[in-house]
Amino acid sequence: MSSAPTGEEIAPERRADAAAPLAEPKRIVVFSDGTGNSSRALFRTNVYRLYDALDLGSRPGGPDQIAYYDNGVGTSSFRFLAVLGGIFGFGLKRNLLRLYEYVCRNYNGQYPGTDKGDTIYAFGFSRGAFTIRLLVALICTQGIVPYEDERELKRNCADAVRRFLGENAPDLFPWLFQTVRWFRDRIIQGWRRLRGQAFNREAESFPDIEFVGVWDTVAAYGGPIVEITRGIDQYVWPLTMTDYELHRRVKVARHALALDDERDSFWPLLWDEIADQRAHAGINKECRDWNAAERLRAGSRLKQVWFAGMHSDVGGGYPDDSLAYVSLKWMIDEINALGPDRLALIQSEEARIRAFANPLGPMHDSRSGLAGYYRYQPRKIAAMLHRSIADTVGMNQTRVLRDPIIGEKRHRPQGLLTACHVHRSVIERICLGNDNYAPIVLPRKFEIEPPYAPADKSALAAASRTLQERDPAKGRGEIQENAWDNVWLRRTCYFAVVLLTAFLALAPFWGDGSGFTPGMDSRWVLSDIFVLGRKFVPSWLLAWYDPWTANWALSLVILGLIGLIANAMRALEADLRDRVRIAWWDALAGQTLERFEPTALRALRNSLGYQAVMQFWKWRVLPFLFGVSILLCVPWLVLVLWTQTSLIGLERGVAFCKESAENDTPAAVLKTRSAPLALDPKNPCLPFAPLAAGRGQASPAIQSKAAVAAHGTVVKGQRYYVILTWPERGDPWRDKTHPVAAAGRNTFDFPFPANVVMAGGAPLRRVVLARWLEPLVEIRDPKPDLSPSGYRRTIMIQRLTPVAPVIKEADESDKGQRKPPAIRWMGSFVPTMSGTAWIFLNDAALPEGTGGATYFYANNKRTFDNSPSAGATLWKGPDFEQTARQCEAALGDFAKISECLRRKGIDLRPTATGDPG
């Protein structure tokens, strides 16, 4: 016998992923912008313009519309991350995750009382277009993940993205990457299990995508050199995440492409029209949704249309980009063609877009200025057509442009286009444009989109029908293909410019120049110009400025060659456009063009042997070399990180500065100066000891492994001078066989190939930014930290500011007399903390655990073998300055100042025992 409930019925707990109480079916629109483009940018792209034109919010009489706009990669407020994102595409995965979370958070497949659910639309440009294509594939394959709160939403979305990206692996050694990913997933799964959290929850809904619109998709990851990207992708870690097939859950997809961009790294990523046709043929067996089958049979769900202009002339982003509005107007027309499912736009904004669209608008040069160093490669559409499509040139004549991993493995390389669709604005610009526009990349046959109606009797319609019906383009195609000789020559010139520029960029490795040296003759005006210019050059650029000016004649010759080659490239471009433009005009007029015989250069560059060799070099050899080189850099990076991490403890301990708690004598403040120190370049660290009272009572000699008898203490905020003396002319040290000045030696000042070795070892130096064997001062806290981690002190390493030496060379007229050593180098510093002062010469070190932290110091030696060690003396600032001024004022002769200082009790000469002598 059951009893009736005594209170109100308890409603089931509402989930966070449930629909809002008053929600109705809505349209979810997501946008992803291109590299460096954002909502705060001064010049907007078509993605943002479409987002701005949406009629968002509650709409009486129609479904509500909500939208999410995501800034492109390279827009981080942190400049370093922005640069990495702009060059390499870092941050794209984060953008993908944000978009996916937004869709999963807002999507509902069915609302109470109706069988309708939300609809999804997506738009993107450039790398944002690739992000959108990944997002669409992610939603179609992984679905909409369930969640009970925001934290679980983020975890489930991250799991879905990992599953999705985990399906992508390089062609070479895929098992290695799958193994790494398997271990990564097991670690995440174990952590989730410990915290009672679900892992890899399955989706409950797999929605269709109503509309996808993208502008000029380019590669997501990678830098401006395709071969390096491919090398990383195949040998290091998969980056490209190739997405060529349009998923069958997508109802309509539109792709606006740029005809005239000439950057190889901006080669467009197309959708696979061959795979779409294959889906048409086998749809009844593979697709359960009858409506989806009908959509595929219709054959109109995918359109890829070419527009006049560069990458940003089509997608937007230039200050004057009325040309970009043409593709935006076309995209809006395609959206409106959806009928009842079309997006609602603000009428005034749509009218403004249509008014601004101008097929004759200015076209920009995406390779102007420094962007000219982007590799020159026009987008030859014949190389993107399927191998079965006949054209002036076929697959064997375009192998070098065909990525060998695109298409089915049995038929690689394989183009993805079944036909070339050109927007009618391209023909209009050719016929009416005021800039002599003549595209060089269109194949012999193409289709005009949208086609002109048969009843249209306009001149443009007649010209378009002439191209398609009378087929005069066969002659135009032959002329155009011959004109591609100029493209080949321009590419040759481009590589010559790159090589010459690289030679200039490698100037630090030139070594000692044998050309003109500034200052050798004061009558020569260039000497003064170079010396004056050096004052305005940043210090980090001096490594290039000095060899350029030292070899000024060679530098001018290289710059002159670059200028001449650049002029030749402009002449080739002008000749190319003239030849192709005349062919276009004749073809549009329906004239029968004379068939041109292939040129000798055309026969060479289109030959099967040339194409096969260049394809193998571009897509196999160079990626292999770059990939293996990067793999070899991994151990070096590990060594650098290990070394610099170990140095934190080594410097604070006793590995370099030999001291211990058992033999720690009280430190004395340096009142005037330290005792002269016998500085040995083989010793990684030596202390300045206070000067004992009386002559000959200073600290004993400092040996490499001897305990320190006493320490001199410096006071924070006061100025001190470090003075180096040695008795002979020339450099005091040698790093193995290479002489090194007292102030140290820059990496690029070593001769080739030693400078290459030194450049590789520079990150292993104790102070990375200091020069080789540069004298540095280390200040150590007198109170040791006897922590469980070992004997440690708080330290501060300071570089010395060079100052002009007070004392120059000894007087050469005093021959036969015993002369004191001259001050060869002097530097000052102001301690940032009080403590004992030590000095060391900067050199490379090995990490803790290798047993050779000071290994490289054994290569160092003095340049004078028959003299005592070079002397290093630490002076307190005011005392040294006052004494030096007194001697200088009294004598006025730099050659005798050293004797003056000696008579005042200041003897800078070291002895074999380190005592003043």
Checking phi first, is residue 155 left (phi over 0); if not, alpha (psi -120 to 50) or beta? Answer: alpha
> How far lies 26's CA from each of 55, 242, 466, in Å?
12, 31, 46
Residue numbers in the chain where pLDDT is lower than 50:
1-2, 4, 284-288, 290, 293, 296-298, 513-519, 661-663, 693-709, 806-820, 866, 869, 891-895, 908-917
Q: How crowded is residue 874: how many other Cβ atoms within 10 Å of its Cβ?
A: 27
* Contact (CB, 8 A) for 110 and 117: yes
Question: What's the full length of the chain, in residues?
Answer: 917
What does the pLDDT read at residue 899? 63
Contact 378, 441 (CB under 8 A): yes
Residue 609 DSSP one-character state: H
- Residue 773 to residue 766: CA distance in whole angstroms: 10
Residue from 415, 379, 103, 188 nearest 267 by CA: 379
| Helix runs in 806-904, H state only | 877-891, 894-903
SS3 (DSSP) at 668 = strand
In sequence order, the 6+-apart residues with CB closer than 8 A to the CB of 680 are 686, 702, 704, 862, 869
Please choose, from the candidates 370, 398, 400, the residue with its C-alpha nearest in 3D space to the C-alpha of residue 386.
398
Tell me the pTM: 0.79
Task: Please choose, from the candidates 878, 886, 867, the residue with its C-alpha nearest in 3D space to the C-alpha of residue 820.
Answer: 867
d(CA 107, CA 28): 8
CA distance 407 to 432: 38
Residue 107's nearest CA partner among 202, 207, 186 is: 207
**Distance in angstroms (rounded) separating the CA atoms of residues 566 and 311:** 23
Which of 435, 565, 449, 439 minimizes the C-alpha distance to 498?
565
Report in angstroms the alpha-carbon separations of 523 from 517, 518, 529, 595.
13, 11, 12, 65
562 contacts: CB under 8 Å, gap ≥ 6: 497, 500, 501
Identify how many contiguous H helices and E strands the chain contains and give both numbers. 25, 24
Beta bridge mates, 473: none
What is d(CA 916, CA 697) in angstroms, rounded to the nearest whole number?
8
Beta-strand runs (E) in 445-593 = 447-449
Q: What is the CA radius of gyration of the chain?
A: 37
Predicted confidence (pLDDT) per residue in 800-825, tens digit: 888 765 444 444 444 444 444 555 67
Distance CA 201, CA 147 (A): 9
**Contact criterion met (CB below 8 Å) for 831 and 717:** yes
Q: Which CATH architecture has domain 26-374?
A: 3-Layer(aba) Sandwich (3.40)
- At 791, give phi and psi (nearest 5°): -75, 115
In angstroms, the Cα distances linking 319 to 130, 313, 596 are: 24, 10, 42
Residue with tokens 């090398």, as numbered in its chain? 231
According to DSSP, the residues that pair with 483 across neighbouring strands are none
Hey, what amino acid is at 444?
R
Q: Where are the domains of the chain?
A: 26-374, 638-903
What is the torsional sign of CA 314, 317, 318, 320? positive
Of 223, 334, 217, 306, whose CA–CA distance to 270 is shortest? 217
Six token digits for residue 780: 């150590």
Provide the 3-class DSSP secondary structure of residue 476.
Answer: helix
Instruction: Name the packing angle between helices 324-336 and 347-356 (round to 10°).
Output: 140
Q: Give Cα 457 to chain centroid, integer Å.
A: 53
> Among 394, 326, 327, which Cα is nearest to 125's?
327
Place of tokens 């398609």: 468
CB 682 within 8 A of CB 855: no
Residues 6+ apart with CB under 8 A from 700: 709, 913, 914
Give the number of other Cβ atoms within 10 Å of residue 337's Cβ.
13
| Local structure of 304: helix, strand or coil | strand
Between CA 501 and CA 559 the distance in angstroms is 8
Q: Share the mean pLDDT of the chain.
A: 79
Give the pLDDT score at 298. Answer: 46
- Most distant CA pair in the chain, distance: 129
